[in-house]
Chains A and B, each alone.
Chain A
Amino acid sequence: MAKACPGKTFGLLVRGCDERALDAVMRESRLAVLDRDHVVKVGFSCPHELAEKHECYKPWPDALTVGEKTEGAAPPEQTELDLPAELERWRPIMDRCLKCFGCRNVCPVCDCRECTMEIEALVPQRELPPDNSFLFTRAVHMVDRCSYCGLCEEACPASIPLKELYRTVAKAMGMGLTLPGAPLLVRPVDLFRRPKAI
């Protein structure tokens, strides 16, 4: 909409997750049409029950306009990550993927002109179940962007716990519990550098 109306100012109702997604989108230069000067956030906090149901531990936006902060869910436990074991655990879950692209389509921060998930050279196409790189690529892209709103999980016809996958991959990059906007502790490219272990 911002593209259709250049120069217009938008008032947006934001909860905690909406604000995180909005900030992530505005941070990225490709969506320069939607900049901070043309967005007025009207923030309110999600009810505690909703936050609990969606495992959201920060249901309030920083730009709280109406009402008061509500209590969020307890943050997920920070356990040691056994990467090989995690990979084994995730493989059968990811094999359920139907490649409907629902997680990408519904994602509030996904707005690339060209999506890596559709580029043959990066992710093998026309395969079902898809190559593991299909969901992992998205998971890597979600690090520092994901607002943990849970829309992808709700849209997934294979009931893949995507929020958990993104959190696991974020954890592997040393960003386990941080929400988007925090500085990256480990850059994704560093993960593939050897022999420098993380």
Chain B
Amino acid sequence: MTGGNPMEYKSTLTTCPYCGCGCGFYLEAVDGVLTATVPSKTSPVNRGRLCVKGWNAHEFVQHPDRLKKPLLRKDGELAEVSWDEALDYVAGKLKKIKEEHGPDAIAFLASAKVTNEDNYVLQKFARAGVGTNSVDHCARL
């Protein structure tokens, strides 16, 4: 940052990604780097409060350990691959398992970190696409 150019401070109202409650909070960023989470007092869900996970929601977003690209284990080592290759690999494996052991050999675990619509699509894929009722929640992992 140069002397004449002041820092950019931004406070963005958003929804906590950790669970289905949907607490409202502000993510504070200084020069594009997330620095803090501040609960929204006007959100009817959390009314200015957060749990310990929500309070730290800004920490994982730009964490260096976060996975950003699909990885595939090749010869015992994780290697970066394209989305196409990763999806083809998973689809091929699922198909093979279904053919050899039947659809009930596959189970789907939904996520608390995604929207209702995403979870709806997941169970639809499990039931209509793969043909199994084995759908459960990530909390039981």
Contact = CB atoms under 8 A, between A and B. Distances in A.
B103 interface: no
Interface string B36-48: 1111010000001
B52 A1 contact: no
Interface in B88-110: none
Interface in B11-62: 30-31, 36-39, 41, 48-52, 55
5 closest A-B pairs by beta carbon, nearest first, are A157-B49, A100-B52, A154-B48, A4-B7, A105-B55
B31 A101 contact: no
Contacts of B48: 154-155
A105 B6 CA distance: 26
Report whether over half of chain A's contact residues are helix, strand or loop; otherwise say mixed.
Answer: loop
A99 interface: yes
B67 interface: no
Contacts of B39: 102, 106, 155
Nearest to B36: A105
A4 B50 CA distance: 27
Interface residues of A, number: 15
Contact of A1 (B7, B37, B49, B55): B7
A157 B39 CA distance: 11
B31 A155 contact: no
B4 to A, nearest CB: 11
A105 B25 CA distance: 13
A179 interface: no
Interface of B: 1, 6-7, 9, 30-31, 36-39, 41, 48-52, 55
A180 to B, nearest CB: 23
B55 A100 contact: yes
A4 B31 contact: yes
Nearest to A7: B3
A99 B31 contact: no
B41 A154 contact: yes
Contact of A156 (B9, B31, B36, B49): B49
B7 A106 contact: no
A100 B1 CA distance: 34
B50 A99 contact: no
Interface in A141-161: 154-157
B51 A100 contact: yes
B52 A99 contact: yes
Contacts of B7: 1, 4-5
B51 A98 contact: yes
Interface string A94-124: 0000111110011000000000000000000
Contacts of B55: 100-102, 105
10 contacts: A1-B30, A5-B1, A5-B6, A5-B7, A100-B49, A102-B50, A105-B36, A105-B37, A155-B49, A157-B51
A106 B38 contact: yes
A4 B6 CA distance: 10
Nearest to B7: A4
Contacts of B52: 98-101
Interface in A120-177: 154-157
A106 B50 CA distance: 11
A99 B50 CA distance: 11
